[in-house]
Structure 1
Amino acid sequence: MSEQATAVTHRLVSSPAGRIHVVEQGTGPLVLLVHGFPESWYSWRHQLPVLAAAGYRAAAIDVRGYGRSSKPGDTEAYRMLELVEDNAAVVHALGEQSAVVVGHDWGSVIAANSALVRPDVFRAVGMLSVPYAPRGGPRPSTVFARLGGDEEFYVSYFQEPGRAEAEIEPDVRGWLAGFYAALSADTMPAPDAPGPHFVSRGGRLRDRFPTGRLPVWLSEHDLDVYAGEFERTGVSGALNRYRNMDRDWEDLADYDGAPLTRPSLFIGGGLDASTTWMADAIKAYPTTLPGLVSSQILDGCGHWIQQERPAEINRLLTGWLASLRA
């Protein structure tokens, strides 16, 4: 591998958010990497050097509200269409006209909508953990309010500004450790234990997090990196993504039921609630993802798949990218 391919560069580029922090490695066709909640560009640390070595320009961003990127104060500034335009602005700021976009968790949803709304910029899309599901059905807040019975679904819990912040920000590192562990294959609660995605009335989300050890993929240093960013920035920018789901539903009305036609890839974890809850979305891929090249479920894998199973994800990503070039 050349010295140029191994060099990692950090830069700030202009976007509708103000600025987006981009971490790059390698040269070649651009692959834009978009993280989820509660993470950062660092979530792609295992992919950047491998993509660079394979002949790509890998660029991992801090989504607006995270890390070194801008954090608008208005909750509405975190709606999906704004994030799509941030992604397009990054591509153009890097001197490119098009890119492949790959996302994990919320990043998967952002990547999918980027390819849906801006197919002029995003020529293919890779989605990790969260399947593609076209806009449709009832208003999201109505759906989430029905879940859990006497308990509250975590997305509903996140809606009120300041509420989740009051739980998280006094102990960011401890909260993150528990959240990561709750969704990791080797540390998640047993199937018959109370679900970590729900909150008891009057309780906290962290009341159901595992304690005592970190997932095998997460070192103390890795946790320090994540915690350090949120201790510096706070978590409101990250949580504001959840607070715009009804606005997204309104903004994307013209795309109701729309298939995503760009060449696509999906990889999910067999033990990830995102995969099991959205099994019907995966079954609908012949209709909703007519450009699907590959769909894979990794047995025994949790939610943080590119960190839990980096070698497998890197193999599947580079294979898919090579098929696009061919």
Structure 2
Amino acid sequence: MAAWSHHETIVNGVRLHYVEAGEGPLVLLLHGFPEHWYAWREQIPALVDAGYRVVAPDMRGYNVSEKPHGVEAYRIGTLVEDVRALIEDRSEEHATVVGHDWGGAIAWEVAARHPDRVDRLCVLNAPHPAVYRREIRSRRSDQRKRSSYALFFQLPWVPEMLFRLRGYRAIERMFREGPENPDAFDEEAVARYERACAQPGAMTSMLNYYRALFRGELRSMLPGCSRPNETTTDGVISQPTLLIWGMRDRALSPRLTEGVERWVSDVRVERLHEASHWVQADAPDRVNELLIAFLDDRNGDE
């Protein structure tokens, strides 16, 4: 088991907690909702053993990282700047960025807005924004129905109240009923996530990611969409990209893996048919194998 250490740093005006382990090229691991750095418990030792330096932060609002007040503090541009600043804070010019769920959504944007900071990109069960918009608008897609929970999250205080009921048992159900692998989340993992969600202000901060997205950010996300005071490109991501998708995701349609090549010039899509949204916990060995092979292939690019 790789030894990891806990640290805090201030980047982009916010205090972030992160775990760091290993030596070598930097790999930044970005978690999703409602997890934190511990989402990568199976990947950290494998990456360290493969010769990489791993940094896995608690994103702003999560676990023991700082929880700024207000929806505006969680807009996608701000979250992207957290990641860019964290790469620089770790004394690196660039990194491989790996993201799952919300971490994946942020990773897409970091690669698009700061291509000089991302040498490789790996996304797990998080759609490219243009593909997501396509499916939301399509009459043939069921993605709008699948995403209805995010509309519920727009309500003030009601989602927080429901999550708090019975000591965050809704979080436990999410991890017990969602995965395909019954061993994906043990008692320790569930307890960690319940404690993190119970941190003062955490639940509101976590939900504010969704609230900020649906208050205008969805229309302004890449590709080719104008952003005030920003220089735009054609939105095409040129970095080598690996998209890993658990095909039994209940919230995100398998159709979201189709047509991504239009927006990512060098992409490989790996569909894991027996895995759920929680793909790196459902199939950790396969995910580790795919991720390390993808990272090691960088030597062939140099």
After TM superposition, is the score higher than 0.5? yes
Question: Structure 1 residue 242 and structure 2 residue 219: aligned?
Answer: no
Deviation at 1:248, TM superposition (A): 1.6
8 Å contact from structure 2 (residues 8, 15) kept in 1:
yes
Question: 5 Å matches for 1:215-254?
Answer: 215-233=182-200, 234-246=202-214, 247-252=216-221
Q: Distance in 2 between matches of 1:244 and 1:269?
A: 26
Question: Structure 1 residue 46 and structure 2 residue 42: aligned?
Answer: yes
Deviation at 1:251, TM superposition (A): 4.1
Question: Structure 1 residue 290 and structure 2 residue 265: aligned?
Answer: yes
State the one-letter code of the partner of 2:189. Answer: D
Q: Distance in 2 between matches of 1:68 and 1:93?
A: 19
Deviation at 1:250, TM superposition (A): 4.7
Question: Structure 1 residue 185 and structure 2 residue 159: aligned?
Answer: no
Question: 5 Å matches for 1:45-194?
Answer: 45-134=41-130, 147-148=144-145, 153-186=148-181
Q: Deviations over 1:96-149 (max 9, x none)?
A: 1110100001111111111111112112110001232328859x89x9xx944x
How many residues are aligned here? 288
Q: Distance in 2 between matches of 1:185 and 1:64?
A: 29
| Corresponding residue number in structure 2 for 1:194 | none
Q: Distance in 2 between matches of 1:50 and 1:179?
A: 26
Structure 2 gap ranges (5+)? 226-233
Deviation at 1:54, TM superposition (A): 0.6
State the one-letter code of the partner of 1:160. Answer: L
Q: Distance in 1 between matches of 2:128 and 2:297?
A: 21
| Corresponding residue number in structure 1 for 2:228 | none
8 Å contact from structure 1 (residues 17, 64) kept in 2:
no
Q: Distance in 2 between matches of 1:42 and 1:307?
A: 11
Q: Distance in 2 between matches of 1:69 and 1:130?
A: 23
Question: 5 Å matches for 1:26-37?
Answer: 26-37=22-33
| Corresponding residue number in structure 1 for 2:249 | 272
| Corresponding residue number in structure 1 for 2:230 | none
8 Å contact from structure 1 (residues 35, 106) kept in 2:
yes
8 Å contact from structure 1 (residues 131, 278) kept in 2:
no
Deviation at 1:27, TM superposition (A): 0.5
Deviation at 1:274, TM superposition (A): 4.8
SS of match in other structure, 1:76: helix
SS of match in other structure, 2:18: strand
RMSD of aligned alpha carbons: 2.7
State the one-letter code of the partner of 1:225. Answer: R
Q: Distance in 2 between matches of 1:224 and 1:147?
A: 32
Q: Deviations over 1:145-188 (max 9, x none)?
A: x944xx991010001221100100233441111112342125xx
Deviation at 1:282, TM superposition (A): 2.1
Q: Distance in 2 between matches of 1:112 and 1:253?
A: 9
Deviation at 1:324, TM superposition (A): 1.6
8 Å contact from structure 1 (residues 102, 111) kept in 2:
yes
Identity, % of aligned pairs? 31
Deviation at 1:58, TM superposition (A): 0.8
State the one-letter code of the partner of 2:53. Answer: R
Q: Distance in 1 between matches of 2:97 and 2:295?
A: 11
Q: Distance in 1 between matches of 2:277 and 2:8?
A: 29
Q: Distance in 1 between matches of 2:111 and 2:279?
A: 22
Question: Structure 1 residue 310 and structure 2 residue 284: aligned?
Answer: yes
Stretch of structure 1 that moved more, 230-239 or 91-100: 230-239
Deviation at 1:273, TM superposition (A): 3.1
8 Å contact from structure 1 (residues 15, 90) kept in 2:
yes
Stretch of structure 1 that moved more, 36-45 or 215-224: 215-224
